[in-house]
Amino acid sequence: MTKKWGLMAVAAFGLYAAAMYFYIFHGQNSGIPDVLQGSAADPSTFLTTQELLLSEELSKIRNFLFFVAGPLEWLLYFAILITGMSRVFEKWSSVQFKWSLFRTGMYVFLLSLVLFILRFPLDFYQYTVSKSYGISTQFFSSWMRDNVIDFWLDFGMSVITVSVLYWLIKKSPKRWWFYTWALTVPFSIFLMFIQPVVIDPIYNDFYPLKDKELETKILSLAEQADIPSDHVYEVNMSEKTNALNAYVTGIGENSRIVLWDTTLDRLTHDEILFIMAHEMGHYLLKDIYINIAVYLFMTFIGLWLIAKIMPRMINRYGSILKVKKLSNISSLPLFLLISSFLLFFSNPLSNAVSRYQEVRADEYAMELVENPEAAILTFQQLTKAGLGEVNPSTLVKWFRYSHPPMLERINKVAEQADEE
C-alpha cells in the first residue's frame, strides 16, 4: 500500500511539473501590448538585446522553479510520513531522552536535517542559476554559510514553537489552534522588533549612510513628510548580489529604512530619493502594521483549517501516513504539509494586498518628489539589474508578484507625467 501511494504521489507531481513546464516555457504569452511598444515601459527601449534574451530565459526558469518548489516540498513531507521515517524519529528521540523538551529538540533536529539534505539540490540549482545569469555575486562558501545560519536559526525557533504547539494539542485537543494563534501575536511582533538589530546583522553588515550629501537630502525629504529621520542604513549586499533594493523593516524604535550598497552605487541621488520617498510612503501609510494584521488574520484562518483537516486525515489515512494520533509529534510533517499547501494557495490574496500597498507607496513618492523622470529611470534600472520580467502572465502575477509588474508601474508614472 505504501508503495502504491508513493508511486501515485510521484506520478501526480510529475504530471503537474510537466504541465507547468509546458505552460511556462511554451504556453504563456507575456509580450508587450502594441499600444506600449516603443514607450518607456517597453524593455526593448532600456535593455540590450542580450539583456532581453537573458531576462526572458531567467524569468521562465524562476517561474517554473517557483511553481514546482511548493509541490515538491509537499511530496517530501508525504514521503517522510508514508515511509515511517517520522515515526522512527519520534521513537528514537523518546528512547534517547527522558525530558520532553530534549525529545522534541532531537526530533526537530532529525527532521530538519533530512529536509535540509533533500532540499539542497534544488537550492543549489537556484544558486547556480542566479550565479550564471550574473545576479548573484556570492561565493559558494558564503552561500553555504548563510544556509547553515538559516538551518540553526530555524531549528532554534522550531524547537520552541513545536514544543509549545504539541503541548497545547495535548492539553486542549479542541482549542489548541486558537491558543497557538493567540501566542503567535506577541511572538510575531517580538520577531519583527528584534529582526533589524539581532537577526539581520547575522547575515550582513549594516552601518549609517556614508554619503553625507545624500543623507542631508534624505533627511530633508523625511522632514517634509514629518517622519523620524534617524533610521537610514546601508548594507553591504554587493558581496552577494548585483540586484538593487531598499526596504523598511522592524517596528517602533527598531524600525529602519535600509538601502543596499548596490543601489547606492548604481543609482543617482534623484533616483534614490524616489526610492526613499516610496519607503516613507510605506511608513506613513502604516503598511508594516497592516501587514502584521493581515498575517495574523491569515494565520488564524490557516490554523483553524489545519485543526479541521488534520484529525480527519489521520482518522482516514493514519495507517498510510504512519500517524496514530494528532498529539504524536510524528504528525508534524503532516502539519507542515497542510501549512505549506494553504500558504501556497493564499499567495494570490497576500500578493494582491501587497501590490495595493506598493501602488499607494508609488503614488505617495510621486507626490513627494515630483520627479517622474527619476521614477521611470529607477524602475528601468531595477529591471535591468535583476533581469526582471516586466509583463508576466496573469497566473505568474497572482502567485509570484508582491509588487505590480514594472510594465504597470512605469506606464502609470508616464501617464501621470503626461497629465501634468
Active-site residues, by number, are: 279
DSSP classification of residue 226: T
How far, CA to CA in Å, does 72 sit from each of 78, 127, 396? 10, 18, 18
How far, CA to CA in Å, does 179 sit from each of 44, 61, 173, 182, 333? 54, 41, 11, 5, 21
- Return the closest-CA partner of residue 149 out of 192, 116, 121: 116
Q: Alpha carbon 251 to chain centroid distance?
A: 19
Q: Alpha carbon 419 to chain centroid distance?
A: 36
The cell for 38 is 516603443
- Return the closest-CA partner of residue 392 out of 380, 370, 407, 413: 407
- Return the closest-CA partner of residue 180 out of 367, 9, 387, 326: 326
Nearest 5°: CA angle at 226, between 257 and 195? 25
